[in-house]
Amino acid sequence: MDIGFVWDADKYQEVQKKHNVQFYEVVFAFDDPDGYDGPDPQEHPDRWMFIGKSVTNRILVIIYVPENEEVHRLITSILSTLNLRV
């Protein structure tokens, strides 16, 4: 099943400026077969975290809310600060 993504325009501009992460990178990272999907470590009840490799080979940490089975609302995305070997 294909998942759609929505991102608040103001929040997206903030993420682009602060973290230099592009929307297409986040969408691509969700296709990483080695990605990790789990609960938000900040323990926000409705939020989840996904860690995956982007099309530019950068490891992204993505916080999102699954709105329904077909749409994820993106909250933020940052570059991983860990030195990971993928």
For the CA atoms of the chain, what is the radius of gyration?
Answer: 12
Whole-model pTM: value is 0.84
Identify the residue with better confidence: 83 or 3: 3
* Pick from 2, 3, 21: nearest CA to 75: 21
Q: What is the pLDDT of residues 13-35, one digit of tens each?
A: 998 999 999 999 999 999 999 99
Q: What is the pLDDT of residues 39-55, one digit of tens each?
A: 988 888 899 999 999 99
What's the pLDDT at 84?
A: 47
Instruction: Map out the domains of the chain with their CATH numbers.
Output: 4-79 (3.10.450.530)
